[in-house]
Each structure stands twice: as C-alpha cells, then as structure tokens.
Structure 1
Amino acid sequence: MIIGIDDTDSNEGMCTTYLGALLLEELQVYGAIETLPLLIRLNPTIPYKTRGNAAVALRLKTDCPEKVIAHVVSRIEEFARMECEKTNPGVVFIPEKAYGKLKPILRNFLEKAVKDVIEIEEAKSLISESKVPSKGFKNGRGLIGALAACGAMLNLEDWDHTFEYLAYRKKEKWGTPREIEKESFFEADRKTYPDTWDTVDLKNRLIVCVPHSADPVLFGIRGKSPAIVTKAASLIMAEPVERFAIYRTNQGTDMHLLSAESLAEIRDMHSYRLEGTVSAVPRTIHGGHVIFPVQDKEGNGIDCAAFEPTKNFRLLIRKLRPGDRIVVSGSVNSGTLNIEKIEIKKLAPLYREENPICPTCGKHMKSSGKTQGFRCKKCGTQAASKVLCEVKRNLTAGLYEVPPCARRHLAKPLVREQRYDIEINPAR
C-alpha cells in the first residue's frame, strides 16, 4: 500500500517529515518499505498552511494492512499538534489493487495541489468515490496533501526530483537552541557543492539548512543524489541525532510555476513564469522592499517585488530601467509577484545629454552662453546644441536568483538549471 500523510505540524512545532521518518522504521515490523519516502511541497501561496506546506508518502509491502492502518492513525493522534487551529491532519491508504485506476487521477490531483487551489470537499469526494481507507482529523484539510503525496508516489517517473537528508533531534532537545558547529556546514558545502545546495549562504555568511523553529529537525541537506547528501551530512558536527531519513522530493524543481501568456491571466495564490517589460524605475518602500511594475504587449501590468529578505538581490533589481525585457518567476499574493528568479533578456539603451565633441581635437566643447550653442576653445569649432550619448549600464543580461537565505522550497536553484549566466550567491 501507499500511505500519504499531511498537516500534523504547527507554526510552533512538530514536522510531518519526522512522523514519516518514525513510521519508516516502525512499519518494517509489518512488511517491507519498497522505495525512498517522499516529501512533497504543495502550493506555497496557500494562506492556511502551517510552515512549509509539505506532505509525505511511504510505500509498504505488507500482509497485514489493518494493523498498518491502526498503527499509523495512532501515531498521528499521538504526535499531531491538534491544539493548533491550523493543524488538520489527514491520512490516506492506497491499496495495491487500486494503483492502476488511481494513477492518472492522482497525477492530476498532485499537479493541481502544487499549482492551484483545492477545496477540502474535492479531496473528500475523491476518497469517497475511490473507496480508499482514510482518516481526517478536525476539518480534514490534510487529506489534500495526503492524496497529492500518494499521487507523486504512483507517478515517480513523471516529475523532476531532488533529495533531502533530514536529521532529527532527540525529543528532550525539541524547543531548545540547536547545538551545531557552524564551520562544519561551510566545510560540507565546500566539499559537496554543486551537487548539494542551500546548505549555506556564502554571500551573507548564513547557515541555511538549520531551521529556527521548535520542530524536531536538526538540519536538512539538499542535493542531487542520496549518496551526496549522505556525504555532506557526515561532515557536519552537531548535537546527537535521534534518527535521520532521506526523502525523494519535488523541492528545487519549479514544479509550482505556471506559464502565463498574458498578465491578464494572473491570479492570487498561484505561481508563474512570465515575460514582460519594465515600465517604471524600481522604488524602495518602507521596510527595504523593492517594487517595480512590468507590462505585457497588451498593456496589462503587475507589480514585482524583491522583498527585504532577498538581501543583495535587491541591488540587482534597483538597476532595472523602463524598457528592459525580462522574464520573472515567483508567487503572486495581493496582486504582487514575489520574485524567485529573473532573466534579463534585453537591456534598454539609456542616453544622457553631453556637450558635443570637437571633430578636430576630440575634446568636449564649452557652452558659449545661454541659447548661443557650443564652441571648442582650442579649434574654434562650433555646434548648435548638446548631443545624446549612450550610457554604459552596470548590468548584464542573464539569469539571476535570490540568495539561498531567501529561497523558497520549490524554487529551482540556478545550479540545477541547464544554463545560467551569473549566480548571485556567490562567485565560486
């Protein structure tokens, strides 16, 4: 069977991946785990999510499904943060006999859960029609992610993936400051980048892979294979680990992005890759956020933002000027696109007025007085007015990204792109 679980954590603590790691060990009493567990990030713009909007799935070969179901439900009841208003767990059990029928249905459901907005009733109706075992707690919103994670497990060949090594703290340490040797994270990055990423932010001298909340995660290493994330984890010095798990995941894949042919299509709570032209000089607003408008060929527009957490990325955005042709990727909320990546396709030429140059000696002429034109003092050459000269811009066309400290889970880092010109964090 495939087991999908979602929404057991809260803003204050717990983590659905911890429950997945625990079950990964415990369920082997009832059968054999058939493949790596899955960590599936869903639509990042959903307002009622807890933290990272992640669901997990396990695939188990077992002869005693009833015992498995009872064990999983009991563990959810024990660990889920039911006291939190936003925590509404859900678990789904897909029996092997239903794999063929549900594979295409849940493939579409997965796609929608990552890119679109799904109501709870849609998930409950699908479960009812499919007659698969499930349990929703409180309002049952977690059934959405549980089904999506099952869809990912049934369709492994259809989606891009990366891996994450998640190390978990001993329970008595939960909620206390994490004890880590910071330099070991930079050493792990030096020895495994570019096959791992987002371990540290070199430009801002920050450790990115260690959470700050009270959840059980000690650190998480992201990379291209189980072997490389294991190698990186082995180089890290920190407090004793209770357990770890390696998840196959859709993190770092841009799976959430929709292509927008026109800005008129743009909707809140969705993520896009869109092309347009900068229509005004970027402005810095209260809080250090940098905002600028983009227009398409039809004149439709949208504001794009590099928010303060993007740090040095804002320096790049401030250099944009009206007429620059760009492609931006990011999520839309309140009518503003939060930039994750930007491709500067073509820079608009900028001009400034200068005194004309003498064609004889090559020096700039001097003004002869108001409305009297210009004259070269050395050669006597004259000109009627100033001339326009193109300004060299301190910006290069290419593909840029926010630094790792501001990267969203689903955003594909440039190190994974088929091509990139300049990586903001940092030159290596």
Structure 2
Amino acid sequence: MSTEYIKMVVGIDDTDSRDGMCTTYLCALLKDELSSFASILSEPVLVRLNPTIPYKTRGNASVALFLECREPDKVMEHVTQRVASMACMDNENTNPGIVFVTGDQFEKVSQKLSEFFMRAVREVITIDEAKELACGLGLQFKLFKNGRGLIGALSACGAMLDTKWDHTYEYLAYRQKDFWGTPRFVDKKSLFEADRQTYPNTWDTVDLKNEMVVCVPHSGDPVLYGIRGKSASSVEKAASFVSSEPVERVCIYRTNQGTDMHLISVPKISDVLGLHSYILEGQVCSEPDIIRGGHTIFSLKDDTSNTIDCAAFEPTKNFREQIRKLIPGDRVIVYGSVTERTVNIEKIKIISLSKKYEVKNPLCPSCTKRMKSAGSGQGYRCKKCGTSSMVTEISEVKRELEAGFYEVPPCARRHLAKQLLRFDKEDLPVFPGR
C-alpha cells in the first residue's frame, strides 16, 4: 500500500432505467462506502446533460465524486463491482460508463474535460467521440454493453474539475430498500411548510398555484424526495421540516440544475438545430392556436423572416394562459429546447406589445345605439332613426398582458431551466409562475 495520498475524480453515468435504480443513489452509496478507506474532499456533483437526447433514461444526469486515497486500485475495483452489480443491466437502454481521473492527470485533462462537459449539456455527442477523448487523455475507464454512459461520466469529471460554472444544490433523500417500488409516503403539509420556511432560498419543492407537490418522484427508483436551492445549508434546512417514511441515506449534490446552461443564444432561426436548446428573439407572426390536448402553439419570425413554431404544452398549465394572449407583432424572446422544428417553451420574455384594435358597427348619432349592416357593400343603417354610415368604428383595446418575463410553473419545470427568482434584479419578472 502506498503511503502517498492520491487525489481522484470518479465519474459515473447510465446505471438506471425508466423502471428503477438511480445513478445518484449509487453515487450516494459509494460516497458512504468509500469513506471507510478514502477521504471525500467535496460534495459530489450531479450534472444534467442535453435534455433533448432521445436515448436518455429519465433525467439525463451523471455524477462524480472527488476523493483522496492511498489505494486508487482499491477504489477502482470497488466502484466497478458496485456498478456491475447494481446497474439495470437487463434494460437495453442502460449502458454504464465509469471514468477515473487521478491527481497527476488533473492539470493535463481539466480544460478538455470542462469543454466536453459544456458540449454534452448543449450538443449531441457520440460514443466514439467520448472514447477518442478518454483514450487520447490516457484516462482509465470501464464500459458496460455499448458504453454510452462514458459520455456522462466524462462530463461529470469535467464538471468536478471546473469550479467556475454556475451551480445550485440538491438534497436527495433515499428510500430504504424494502420500500422500493411501493407508493411513497411524504407528508404533503410538511413539504408546503418546508417551502414556506425556506423560499426563495429553495424552490420547486411545491407548486402553490396548482397546489401540487413537485419534489417527490413517481417512478420505481430509490429517491424519496429532492429539495433544490441556492446553498447546501438552505436545502438542508428545508429537509428538516419534511415528515416522511424512513430514510436510508441522504446526499447533498452540487449541480447545474436551474442554470440555463443548456441554452444557446443564436441571432437567426436558420441557425437552429434539432435536439438543441436556444434563446431566440423575434416577432409573433400568428395568433396562438390551441390544438388537441390543450397545447398552445404560435409562430415566431426573426428579422430575416424565417419562422419556427413555439409551443406551451399542456403540462405547463396556467403558463398557457399568458401565451394565448399574444398577438402578431408582439416582440418576444423565447427560451427552450427544439425537437421536430418546435420550441418547447420554458420561459418567455415579452419585450414589447403590439397594439390591439377592435372593429365595431358605428353608433347612431341620434339614438347612440349600434347601427346594423345594410347589406354587403352598403354600409350601416339605424333601423329606428334611418341614419346611415359607411364607416366602421375602430378603437384600441387594452391588452391583458404586460411586458416582462413569464415562466412555466414548478410542476412543469425542466431540470436545467433557470428560475426567474435566480435572475438579476433588473430583470424582475411580472409573472413568477409560483
């Protein structure tokens, strides 16, 4: 055994499935187990990658641990055995990957892994690209099945080695194994109290407008609930108010959730690619259309007259009411992911509102009642007074909408979407969606 302490970063991804397991649970378990022969140097990282990737299992998250030990081989062996035994290998979409970065490599690989991390959040990366990078950097890694998890594992290592990116925190409580797959018990009132006591330092625990609990998942994975917020102390305080079934273990992660890290600002709609997420400015060029299912869609036109559809889907609930008040000519900035040439709106900033007019039959100058149509091309006539007019009455209508930011409610929030409460004061929202 070496007498020298060696720093290591361990990145892991793609151990779960839509039916069970959770990569963050495996990370929390390893954090506790490795503590018996290694020192954990910081909170683990949980990074959400490109939300549009079609082969993701659930939330497209990867994790990394930063530790110090005398026996790196022992760490590698333990981690590999745990992933092999606990990952959902029977599921065709589960393809784990593990990456190990050791101390003498940090300076050499940090920049390239950081760049790879940012690309994985915004772009579509192939398994071959990830393998080429890992081999080129001389990293030790372990793949299972097709090894797609290598992409996320490298990304998480890049995040751990780069302290400059905007981040938030999440407190995750995990269920005892005997409870996995059964209905969860988390007292609803206690979650609303946790929110009341700690908002705005924590967020998306509950959705007040829709009276919904947001932080408790519904799948068969080990997570009992997750509290998100601005600091480790904030999420820990919120969790102290929660009453629930027995908890096996907890873990606080540093994460890129709530940062808008996935969004790319482009000047033209012609620059937009599918499976990417964007900030787009333009002019509303169609009346919002409510389609089957309650989804609301309008067209956005940029300054080169290219257009793209923008959608507020049914799960965004009351957010759709604001989108339906838009009219052609309104100038807006939309934020969201693009699939099938449609922007899934996460939030919108209304820059300026177009004037709206109402056309009415003219008033009779004698009795002040509305005239009736006298027939096609014949103007209007008052049946009582016999007066007539060829001119309609046009008046401006007050808009039931104000310029400013609007966001989807917490029940529809995507992991990476930045909450308006995290924006600078000069961009204070009109409609905080809470």
Work out whether the TM-score is over 0.5. Answer: yes
Identify unmatched segments of 5+ residues in structure 2.
1-7
Pairwise CA distance, 1:381: 10
- 2:144 is equivalent to residue 144 of structure 1: no
User: 2:36 matched to 1:29?
Assistant: yes
Counterpart of 1:266 in structure 2 is 272
Amino acid aligned to 1:421: P
2:78 aligned residue (47, 56, 71)? 71
1:253 aligns with 2:259: yes
Aligned to 1:420: 428
Contact (CA 8 Å) 1:306, 1:339: kept in 2 or not?
yes
Secondary structure in structure 1 of the residue aligned to 2:59: coil
Q: Compute the displacement of 1:181 (Å).
A: 1.0
Which digits, 9 at most, give the CA deviation of each residue in 1:220-262, with x for residues without a partner?
0000011110010010000010000000000000000001110
Partner SS for 1:320: coil
1:279 aligns with 2:285: yes
CA distance 1:346–1:72, shift in 2 (3 Å):
same
1:42 aligns with 2:30: no
Question: What SS class does the counterpart of residue 136 from structure 2 fall into?
Answer: helix
1:329 equivalenced with 2:317 (yes/no): no
Which of 151, 165, 178 is the equivalent residue of 1:172?
178
- 1:192 paired residue number: 198
Alignment partners' CA distance in 1, 2:380 and 2:67? 86
Find 1:218's aligned residue among 196, 220, 224.
224
Compared with structure 1, are the counterparts of its residues 24 and 374 closer, same or farther at alpha carbon in structure 2 (3 Å cutoff)? same
Q: Aligned equivalents of 1:363 and 1:133: distance in 2?
A: 86
TM-score when normalising by structure 1: 0.94
SS at match of 1:29: coil
Unaligned residue ranges in structure 1 (runs of 5+): none
- Number of equivalences: 423
**Aligned partners of 1:342 and 1:400 also within 8 Å:** yes
Give, in angstroms, the shift of residue 355 of structure 1.
5.0
Give distance in 2, aligned partners of 1:366 and 1:289: 39
Residues 96-111 of structure 1 mapped to structure 2, 5 A cutoff: 96-111=103-118
Q: Whole-Å Cα distance in 1 between the matches of residues 329 and 219 of structure 2?
A: 43
| Aligned equivalents of 2:431, 2:84: Cα separation in 1 | 45
Query: 1:362 and 1:340, CA in 2 relative to 1: closer, same or farther beyond 3 A?
Result: farther
Measure the CA separation in 1 of the matches of 2:349 and 2:381: 43
d(CA) in 1 for partners of 2:368, 2:113? 72
Q: 2:420 touches 2:432 (CA, 8 Å); kept in 1?
A: no
Q: 1:179: how far off?
A: 1.2
> How far has the Cα of 1:424 moved from its partner?
4.5
Matches within 5 A, 1:21-420: 21-157=28-164, 159-354=165-360, 366=371, 371=378, 385-418=391-424, 419-420=427-428
The alignment partner of 2:257 has SS state of: coil
* Contact 1:10 1:87 (8 Å CA) reproduced: yes
CA RMSD of aligned residues (A): 2.1
> Which secondary structure does the structure 1 equivalent of 2:35 belong to?
helix
Letter in 1 for 2:221: D
